[in-house]
Chains A and B, each alone.
Chain A
Amino acid sequence: MQVTSQSFKSNAGAALRDAALQRALKNLKAGFPGKRAAAIAKLPEFDQLRAAGRDLKNHVLEHLDFYLERFEAKVIEQGGQVHWARDAAEARQIVLDICRSVAARRVTKGKSMISEEIGLNEFLEAHSIQPVETDLGEYIIQLRHEHPSHIIAPAIHLNRDQVADAFHAHHGPYGFTERDENPRALMNEARQVLRQQFLSADVGITGANFCIAETGTTVIVTNEGNGDLTQILPRVHIALASIEKMVPTMEDVSTLTRLLTRSATGQEITVYTTFSSGPRRPDDLDGPEQFHVVLLDNGRSGMLGGEFQDMLRCIRCSACMNHCPVYGAIGGHAYGWVYPGPMGSVLTPQLVGIDAAGQLPNASTFCGRCEEVCPMHIPLPKMMRHWREREFERHLSPTGVRFGLGAWAFFAKRPKLYRVAAGFGAWLLRRLGGRKGRIERLPLAGGWTAWRDLPVPQGRTFQQQWAARQGARS
């Protein structure tokens, strides 16, 4: 997927003017935050659970090599295979090779952000293998040739009428010739179309919310049941996971899912929590003949031991974006790559480079709501600031910004000179404001005055008045 993060400003501007998107984003704001708050209010120990989750992931990250090798050994022991992918290209090739080894023509897919990260669908299509997304949201955007705008609600940027249009355009061959906007009818339609795909797929690809080192198990947390059909019906199941998804034990999955589902959708538990431990055994009633896990690094090991390590605690709940006023205003596509919102603003520069995504960690007021709701206590604003520091050190920040900061700092570090300049500035702004008390248009401050008035200073600065008052007292 092409990275357009450096066009964030124009992307955001277009998003703000996109009426359909704005309509859809209202639903997001009305939905997730309230549901999360209600779920957490019913769990008095939520904060202890957060601390436990944070400590657990910190422990895993400190011993990641151990848990990865342990996981691999257990998967192999159970008859599965583990593939190590350094980057996206390696991961794509591994998946393609597995598909080719069974002469696969159709691949069903459960929801996976790693699949998006490695650009798997386009790659498979280019090699004449048809990927079929089976998560309803993913399916809708696949029909529309779009990418997810949200990590757990990929089609949150769409409205019902747009879904009806997409289905109407594509479902004729399956016998659905009438356009229907009824949500139940739309769901039914998708279900019937997808059922045929499930039964004819050669390979099923899912993501993994967790990989359990103790048991060599991958876990998916889902609501639609499509994940199970994806991984059980075809002959081959491939689970895509990034290396930080490791957890030591089954109990640890319980700790993290309790945090994950409440933070994500406000559910106490999702409809399905599916554990996959190796291929079908002789006495199993169903299951795949082959079980593969692709473990993707793609820059993550470079975060270990550095200032971005905390980001690897992320369990992809989406609470940060659901509560972010910037995400809420523009949706996910404006961020220009796979991961949107605050978590994306930290992760994207790591995965695609700060020179290709420097806009993202800058586009925040540091309001701190993301960190406040993060179930893993990830200091997102702090890490966005770290990216700004990297940018500043490498002279990637815009020249105007650097010049302005430099000039301001020159005065701010010289209090006597600063007081004179501040006094002059206050006087000048007051003159410009005239009797109105505010300025409606100010050269060089168009960013402010294009949208709002600038209240003018009251008169002399505080320091000037204070000095006069002290002089009068002594």
Chain B
Amino acid sequence: MNATSSCPSKPRVGLFVTCLVDVFRPTIGFAAVKLLEDAGCTVEVPAAQTCCGQPAYNSGDRIDARDLARQVIVAFEDFDYVVVPSGSCGGTIKRHYPHLFDGDPAWQTRAERLSAKTFELVSFLTDVLGVERVIARYPDTVTYHDSCSGLRELGIKLQPRRLLATVADLDLREMAESEVCCGFGGTFCVKYPELSNRMVSEKAAHIQASEAGTLLAGDLGCLLNMAGKLQREGAAIKVRHIAEVLAGMADGPAIGEPD
């Protein structure tokens, strides 16, 4: 099936949950399921998924990265689409998997096919399914951080803002330098903690200067980093994944908040 040419009437979507969402914030996964089902998709969650392999890939460990990529390809290649609530993991599958198999044409072909039907959640809703609005209410001022991989590898910039604009009672206030990295960077944040701290400190300052009550983004890694910094500084800003707000599932505690 050619996934990019036309959208099946009830597309079968494989949800790649991501390892961070699986462990830290399942609500994001369920919000993704709701958004996809509301948009007419059938959602399945293959049990044979763990991680996309990015930590190995970015650490120069191509062998483990390839093994994990093969695992993802096998688990997901029969779906009409693969949807990921993360620009970073989505970017790894979509932009990097094909290059991982340079010199291995059989797997490269399979990686390219998977790449063509893999999308980050919000851009999948808007760009593939044509979703123009959501039914949700979020009575707060909100600022949005553009996570690097989503922004630069997948071109995600306006899509989340377009959907947020349809959320009732939500007031979007852009922060300064929303496109500058928060300093998470996967293993970077523990390999270079002082540098990472500087970057997230500047990000936290911009977030606070926006005077928004809630920070949203599309990547849990960045969100954990920014939430952890804001809470360490005692800032009373709620931090959530954008899917929670779009799905109307933002009633529970925000990231790092007590129950």
Contact = CB atoms under 8 A, between A and B. Distances in A.
B255 A455 contact: yes
A445 B190 CA distance: 8
Interface string A165-208: 00000000000000000000000000000000000000000000
B181 A415 contact: no
B47 A413 contact: no
Given A362-B191, A453-B256, A462-B17, A397 B232 contact: no
Contacts of B61: 389, 392, 405, 409
Interface string A311-330: 00000000000000110011
A452 B197 contact: yes
Interface centre among A393, A429, A466 (most CB of B within 10 A): A466
Contact of A367 (B29, B68, B185, B255): B185
Contact of B194 (A12, A385, A412, A456): A12
A467 B22 CA distance: 12
Interface residues of A, number: 68
B184 interface: yes
B149 interface: yes
Nearest to A409: B64
Given A409-B56, A409-B67, A437-B257, A461 B23 contact: yes
Interface string B243-259: 00000000011011111
Interface stretch (A125-133, A221-229, A253-261, A417-425): A417-425
B48 interface: yes
A310 to B, nearest CB: 14
Given A385-B60, A405-B59, A447 B231 contact: no
B23 A422 contact: yes
B227 interface: yes
A451 B195 contact: no
A273 interface: no
Contacts of B118: none
A397 B181 CA distance: 25
B200 interface: yes
A372 B179 CA distance: 12
A415 B50 contact: yes
Q: Which DSSP category, helix, strand, loop or mixed, fits chain A's interface?
A: helix
A438 B152 contact: no
Q: Does more than half of chain B's interface fall in helix, strand or loop, or is it mixed?
A: helix
Interface string B33-66: 0000000000001011111010111111110100
A16 B224 CA distance: 23
Interface in B56-87: 56-62, 64, 67-68, 71
B214 to A, nearest CB: 15
B198 interface: yes
A460 B253 CA distance: 15
Interface in B172-200: 179-181, 183-200
Given A388-B58, A405-B55, A369 B192 contact: no
Nearest to A427: B23
A368 B148 contact: yes
B228 A454 contact: yes
Given A389-B62, A412-B53, A415-B50, A9 B26 contact: no
B30 interface: yes
A426 interface: yes
B27, B184, B191 pick with most chain A CB within 10 angstroms: B191
Nearest to B51: A412
B254 to A, nearest CB: 9
B146 to A, nearest CB: 10
Contact of A447 (B51, B58, B68, B191): B191
B21 A452 contact: no
A16 B50 CA distance: 37
A172 to B, nearest CB: 39
Given A401-B191, A455-B24, A365 B185 contact: yes
Contact of B185 (A364, A369, A408): A364
Interface of B: 17, 19, 21-27, 29-30, 45, 47-51, 53, 55-62, 64, 67-68, 71, 148-149, 152-153, 179-181, 183-200, 224-225, 227-229, 231-232, 252-253, 255-259
7 contacts: A325-B180, A325-B181, A365-B185, A397-B59, A411-B50, A415-B71, A452-B197
Given A329-B199, A367-B180, A415-B47, 7 more contacts: A12-B194, A413-B71, A429-B23, A451-B193, A454-B228, A462-B21, A462-B45
